[in-house]
Amino acid sequence: MSPEVFEKIVALCKRRGFVYPSSEIYGGLSGFWDFGPLGTELKNNLKAAWWGRVVHRREDVVGLDSAIIYNRKVWEASGHTKNFSDPLVECKKCHQRQKSEVRSQELTCPSCGGGEFTEPKMFNLMFKTHVGSTEGEEGLAYLRPETAQGIFINFENIVNTTRLKLPFGIAQIGKAFRNEITTGNFIFRSREFEQAELEWFCLPKEADKWFKYWQRERIAWYGELGMKKENLKFREHEDKERAHYAVTAFDIEYRFPWGWGELEGIANRSDYDLRAHGLKYRDEETGEELVPFVIEPSVGIERSAFAFLLDAYEEVRDQRSEVRVVLKLHPKLAPYKVAVFPLIANKPELVKQARKIYSALATRNSLLPVAWDERGNIGKRYYSQDEIGTPWCVTIDYQTLEDNTVTVRDRDTTKQERVAVGELPSYFLENLS
């Protein structure tokens, strides 16, 4: 995948309303992004697809939505206040900081050109905040850098209220914040993002079996949503890069334009977190108490959305040999599933019938988000919908007025077929999978 594709995707995201730089009218803020109308739909679709596969398809996984700010003792117990950090060096001339690993690749400071740096010092990546009216040590708190701890500190609550038995999982999707020193590559590395995390609790002796199970399960999810197999691989973490809580960790990596990069992490957290918080599991039948091991698949929603956009991006030539863009997103992920428009926008009878069909599709089935478009000629409307990934376009023409059928055009093949208006919902729902 060429670097040019990266630039084209970034431009497309801004132009068509997927992603905007946050605070743009004031010069922006590095590492923060706003998701526009189409980006919001794409993210929501991704979260629904993850939740559907990880939670709704299973009887052994339940969900949680915990607070963003916890008592800071949570982070002291979990080890984040001591271990969640990166080594930084500081330029002695301009005092700009950067990761020591980046510094080792550069001879001069990228900010001022200076060549003298301090020795590496550890910098904690958690955002600090204060709770209450004072800003002293008493009110110190942190924005969560991961959603997992919310699951762990609610472990006993959930076991007591659901009566789940090992093995079982607790899932959560929510915001996380990391004060990354080096951001970049668009939304690949940012300071505010959403995580979809599963904490799978199991017997210690079965941890390796479940670790392999969730490796297979998670990489299959990407294939289910149409991601190309050749763009995915597993990579095991080296000892020096593993998180302080992990005994084993693998990344599912994606072939980004700049090379392979982490898409999702799968870690064996052992019993580290539950022991840190003094929590146990008690089997009601046998009375046995134990501390379960935890297998954790964790994916960033924005990062995976970016990968799906890259994977779906194609440039094709039309009949006039002009290059145009088609986003071949899986129908489950596409912001709009269907676009409806009249063949000719200045013919009231066609517009009236098209509006009627649009309203029927838009109001009767929440699984089929529908777009309305009457701008330009029919060809430009098709190409416009192709560019944002809409799988099907419905055109209302003069034959519709005669026999109540419409033309349905497929995004990927550009083939068209006549479908009765009354059959449209079932037609799309059958092809949605």
Residue-wise pLDDT tens digits, 39-88:
999 999 999 999 999 999 999 999 999 999 999 999 999 999 887 777 77
Q: Is residue 323 part of a domain?
A: no
Percent helix, strand, coil in the chain, to 5, is: 35, 30, 35
Same domain? 142 vs 118:
no
- Res. 285 pLDDT band, cuts 50 70 90: confident
Q: Is residue 146 part of a domain?
A: yes
Cα distance between residue 329 and residue 229, in whole Å: 15
What mean pLDDT do residues 261-278 have? Answer: 96
Q: Is residue 325 part of a domain?
A: no
Is 178 annotated to bind a ligand? Reply is: yes
What per-residue confidence (pLDDT) applies to 363? 83
What per-residue confidence (pLDDT) applies to 170? 98
Same domain? 207 vs 60:
yes
| Runs of H (alpha helix) within 55-183 | 73-78, 80-83, 100-103, 148-153, 155-162
Is 288 annotated to bind a ligand? Reply is: no
Same domain? 242 vs 280:
yes
Same domain? 244 vs 295:
yes
What per-residue confidence (pLDDT) applies to 112? 76
pLDDT tens profile 296-342:
999 999 999 999 999 999 999 877 778 899 999 999 999 999 999 99
Percentage of residues in the chain with pLDDT exceeding 70?
Answer: 97
**Total domain count for the chain?**
3
Is 294 annotated to bind a ligand? Reply is: no
Q: Is residue 315 part of a domain?
A: no
Is 354 annotated to bind a ligand? Reply is: no
Is 146 annotated to bind a ligand? Reply is: yes
Highest averaged pLDDT of the listed ranges 1-5, 106-110, 215-219: 215-219
Task: Determine the length of the chain.
Answer: 433
C-alpha dihedral, 24 to 26 to 31 to 33, nearest 10°: -30
The b/e string for 105-130 (b: 16+ C-beta within 10 A; e otherwise) is eeeebeeeeeeebeebeeebbbeeee
Q: Is residue 316 part of a domain?
A: no
Is 301 annotated to bind a ligand? Reply is: yes
Same domain? 133 vs 210:
yes
Same domain? 281 vs 245:
yes
What mean pLDDT do residues 125-136 have? Answer: 87
Q: Is residue 330 part of a domain?
A: no
pLDDT tens profile 132-173:
887 778 889 999 999 999 999 999 999 999 989 999 999 999
Cα distance between residue 421 and residue 400, in whole Å: 9
Is 59 annotated to bind a ligand? Reply is: no
Same domain? 348 vs 244:
no
Same domain? 181 vs 258:
yes
Same domain? 93 vs 159:
no
Q: Is residue 200 part of a domain?
A: yes
What per-residue confidence (pLDDT) applies to 103? 52
Cα distance between residue 34 and residue 103, in whole Å: 30
Q: Is residue 327 part of a domain?
A: no
Is 426 annotated to bind a ligand? Reply is: no
Look at the pTM and tell me if it is higher than 0.75: yes
Same domain? 175 vs 202:
yes
CB 331 within 8 A of CB 391: yes
Burial label, 160 (beta-carbon count in 10 A; 0-12, 13-18, 19+):
exposed
Crossing angle of helices 348-364 and 424-431, rounded to 10°: 50
Give the three-state DSSP class for 371.
strand
Is 263 annotated to bind a ligand? Reply is: yes
CB 199 within 8 A of CB 152: yes
